[in-house]
Amino acid sequence: MGHTIEKGQNMTCITQHKTKKAFKEAVLADPQTPIEDPSIFQPYYGRIDTHPDLQKEDGYITVTNHPKRSWFAEVRRKGTTLKVT
C-alpha cells in the first residue's frame, strides 16, 4: 500500500532562501515572498501570502529550501500577519 495524504496534510513548499533565518526575515519584510508548491494535485507558484492553504482559518504550510530535505520552517497565518516558526 502506498502512503495516503490525510485530511489537513499538505505538500512541502520550496523557497530559494538558503536558511530558515533568511526565509523568516524575507517573509516578515515582504509577505509577497515567492514560494513554490510542487504538488501533483494542486501545484502553486506564486506569493506566499496568497497560497491557498494559508487562506484557511487554521491553515499552514511547511517550507524547505531543497527537494530532498523534509522541511525547515512552518508558516501560519495569525489574523492578517504570517508567522514563521
Alpha-carbon distance of 13 to 66, in angstroms, equals 9
Query: Tens of pLDDT along 2-29?
Result: 433 344 456 789 999 999 999 999 999 9
Residue 8 lies in a domain: no
Number of domains composing the chain: 1
Residue 3 lies in a domain: no
Residue 37 lies in a domain: yes
Residue 2 lies in a domain: no
Residue 33 lies in a domain: yes
| Distance from the Cα of residue 72 to its chain's centroid | 10
Alpha-carbon distance of 69 to 56, in angstroms, equals 26
Looking only at the bridges linking them, the beta strands covering 44-47 and 60-64 are unpaired
Query: Tens of pLDDT along 27-75?
Result: 999 989 999 988 888 888 999 999 988 988 778 999 999 878 878 899 9
Residue 66 lies in a domain: yes
Domain with 51, as residue range(s), is: 17-84
Residue 4 lies in a domain: no
Look-up of cell digits 501560519 = 76
